[in-house]
Structure 1
């Protein structure tokens, strides 16, 4: 079992989600660790959201900004957050990523509203 405290200060994880035909898709994402869960904030009109709604099984690994995996793959289960929990997740993400999060918010507006989920390592 992974100790999530060890990856708290890292910037990116590669998130593996699955298409309906079970083909994996890997995306580098920002994340925040709290209470043994990984929180990820994205936008509602992204591909990963569509894939998560079909299959909550995921894998994740530490990676670079370009998605080059630098850590071990870990299986997990995603849980989609409600509106209130999503607001809290956005605040946590903004605190961790600061100015970059502000830029990201502005640049990603066209991709829908905020959408957040947690990952519990299996």
Structure 2
């Protein structure tokens, strides 16, 4: 199971690694789903490109600007990309369940701007 501070956090800092090993932190929305932490992002984002080379990640609760929550646990894990239609639907539904209207507006509004295309990928983090 995902620890409660990570499951409840509105944002988590997802740390991925460049090819040279340099860590890069990005604040993201995340949803606990069983033993996984699910993230929704653009398929051309740098974090996705980094994950294609190195699946090691760390996650820590943070605020919208990526400032870590004082005393919050940092957990190490492994990420995998979720790209099939069923997997993406699962991630979208989980995000809509946690973030409600904010996520639905962001998802639908972005799809309108992109003429119906949803160039996104899910990320599953196993701790």
| Match 1:117 to one of 113, 116, 123 | 123
Could you say if the C-alpha distance between residues 41 and 3 of structure 1 is closer, same or farther in structure 2, counting changes exceeding 3 Å?
Answer: closer
What SS does the aligned partner of 1:8 have? helix
Alignment partners' CA distance in 2, 1:3 and 1:118:
12
Query: What residue number does 2:61 align with?
Result: 62
User: Which runs of no fewer than 5 residues in structure 2 stay unpaired?
Assistant: none
| Match 2:100 to one of 81, 98, 101 | 98
1:31-60 CA-to-partner distances (Å, cap 9, x unmatched) read: 110112101111101110000111000011
Query: What residue number does 1:23 align with?
Result: 22
**CA drift at 1:107:** 4.4
Report which of the two structures shows the higher radius of gyration computed on alpha carbons: 2
Aligned pair count reads: 120
What SS does the aligned partner of 1:66 have? coil
The CA RMSD over aligned residues, in Å, is 2.1
Report runs of 4+ in structure 1 exceeding 3 Å deviation.
Answer: 107-110
Query: What residue number does 1:76 align with?
Result: 77
